[in-house]
Structure 1
């Protein structure tokens, strides 16, 4: 799979030893943080303000992330509602040898919030 040549990722990050558990494997929690970061960057831009994550579907790993991999996250908009945005986020890992593998795909929903943390209507496009 060579998706990276056809698209520009929303976020690219290197998996470092600090991302691993005691057994040297990259932790799912680290990846969830990257997924949340990539999705919120797009959601904040589209909603023109702060957002919060309200739902993440169960995700399964098709392949592990290894220390040294470059992890690319691609965000596709599935739905824009009055207050929420739903994205499909595809995660690929590029191995040091250049091979690219699908790690996981997840559906994530964000809600636009105001300064009090309450949901708000999405800002209209200019």
Structure 2
């Protein structure tokens, strides 16, 4: 083989390697962008919690910058939302996890879990009727 042909083959292999590396680098960025756009839509909500054996509790909530901020009579709590394709979930103190899944326009419903045991349900709704 001549030196020129070896140089051209080497350049082609290097270009393919760079292109493949670029594809690998772009895929995680696209996945992160998709995850950031999914999840629970920002806005003002009412959150209704039904814990089994306890009266239902209704509070106001705001979703802002990936956080669920609930306003109760004794203060405010802020929880980081872990976005999923169809909603999201938040961890609360006391080993509780609340999952939310979009069930309609402006409505997210899910379970309140204590460890792996469901202890109630929760609804985030844009329709805040008194």
Whether TM exceeds 0.5 here: the answer is no
Which structure has the larger Rg?
2
TM-score if structure 2 supplies the norm length?
0.26
Higher strand share: 2
TM-score if structure 1 supplies the norm length?
0.27
Higher helix share: 2
Bigger RCO (CA 8 Å, 6+ sep): 1
